[in-house]
Structure 1
């Protein structure tokens, strides 16, 4: 396994390699077209890490691979569970408040989470605690 790259962008790390078509569908749902993209919904850069050495790594293992200068409040993980579900719920890992705490989110809600956490408008727990019973955040109801 290799260290995650230095990036002044939201890192989206692929750990699920079971279905290449599903991976492309998740990328499209997130609005990510290249390895480094400006995604309008995020109003920021997104850096995709698509490296098979990260296959099946846990969030805790990925935290150990973050570069010391990474300043984004979250890490996004596209694991097998995200690839196997029609909703494509990616895993969002907190890097600030409760480092390592995670919940799943449907791609359409990720930009709002990222922007609110980036400007400290909301806290991680406000999203995590409002995930549905299955652990997936689908927006505030």
Structure 2
């Protein structure tokens, strides 16, 4: 299995659950909502149906150096069934397989900073809450996306 590459200055959003086309469309709309900048390269290829984090890590690990990815976002069963549609962000470089959830409202923040290498995956992963979900860098009383 070869992982697709995102377009320039975007992050890869790879669909692995094909149970609900309307949830996939809602996820894309939520990510793209109100932002003129393109942050995602969406891949909805049934060849990735049911792919696990480990199989994605293994696929990236077997790629030649120039084809390796640093991270990706997975639209898995949880993404499709949870009303918040949180993507699974997966590290493929520094700590392959380390992951955290990202609700669409926070996707642009994470994607942009990772794409331009302004921040490292670990910084976002370490900021995830007790449920393993990133909801921004904030004080205890903040809860909404900044910007």
TM bin, normalised by shorter chain, reads 0.7 to 0.9
Structure 2 segments unaligned to the other structure (5+ residues):
139-147
Alpha-carbon distance in 1 for matches of 2:5, 2:83: 31
Alpha-carbon distance in 2 for matches of 1:133, 1:21: 29
Whether 1:57 aligns to 2:51 is yes
Aligned to 1:104: 101
Aligned to 2:133: 136
Question: Given the alignment, which residue of 47, 50, 54 partners 2:41?
Answer: 47
Alpha-carbon distance in 2 for matches of 1:31, 1:57: 24
Aligned to 2:29: 28
CA shift, 1:125, in A, is 1.7
Between structures 1 and 2, the one with greater strand share: 1
Contact in 2 for aligned 1:8/1:70 (Cα 8 Å): no
Cα RMSD (Å) of the superposition?
2.4
Contact in 2 for aligned 1:8/1:71 (Cα 8 Å): no
Secondary structure of the 1:134 match is coil
Larger CA Rg, structure 1 vs 2 = 2
Aligned to 1:127: 124
TM-score normalised over the length of structure 1: 0.79
Alpha-carbon distance in 2 for matches of 1:71, 1:117: 15
Aligned to 2:144: none
Aligned residues: 132
TM-score normalised over the length of structure 2: 0.77
Aligned to 2:145: none
